[in-house]
Amino acid sequence: MTDKDIELSYQNPLEKSSITYTYRVTTENRKADASWYILTSKVTFSAANLMASIAKNQSIATLIGTQSGGGASSIIPVISPTGTAFHMSSLNVLSYKDKQTNTYHDIENGIKPDIELPVSKLNDYNHILNLIKNNK
């Protein structure tokens, strides 16, 4: 989708710390002039919510739909001293960094789309294609 570096940000609310990692992207056979669109809804959550956040905040794609479902805390596997295994949320909260204000914002409650679409139109592909054509 892009040859731009990808930024992945975290906040730790307990320690009041934040960090951004930058990942170098190498691409082959990427269509440079393509305009990317991502359809989002309340079932766009967890890793898909992160994808939507990165795409929107780094201007990689335009989001169409309804606000994504959210989810922002990393999970970690834990094995207790008694041998019980389970997963729990960590203190690393997925976030994005606003470059204008140099502040971090968590993505727990979802990402607003660039182009709002009523829920009743989420599967109306002709309507979505018309929105994309009119957005160019």
| Both tokens assigned to 123 | 């599967």
pLDDT score recorded for residue 3 = 83
pLDDT score recorded for residue 107 = 95
Question: At a CB cut-off of 8 Å and minimum separation 6, what does 2 contact?
Answer: 25, 27, 30, 58, 60
Domain boundaries, the chain: 6-135
Q: Tell me which DSSP letter residue 126 carries.
A: H
Does the pTM surpass 0.85? The reply is no
**CA–CA gap between residue 96 and residue 51 (Å, rounded):** 11
74 in Cβ contact with 94 (< 8 Å): yes
**CA–CA gap between residue 95 and residue 70 (Å, rounded):** 11
Mean pLDDT by 10 residues, the chain (136 residues): 89 92 83 87 95 95 97 85 90 90 94 96 96 88
pLDDT score recorded for residue 135 = 85
pLDDT score recorded for residue 18 = 94
- At 26, give phi and psi (nearest 5°): -120, 130
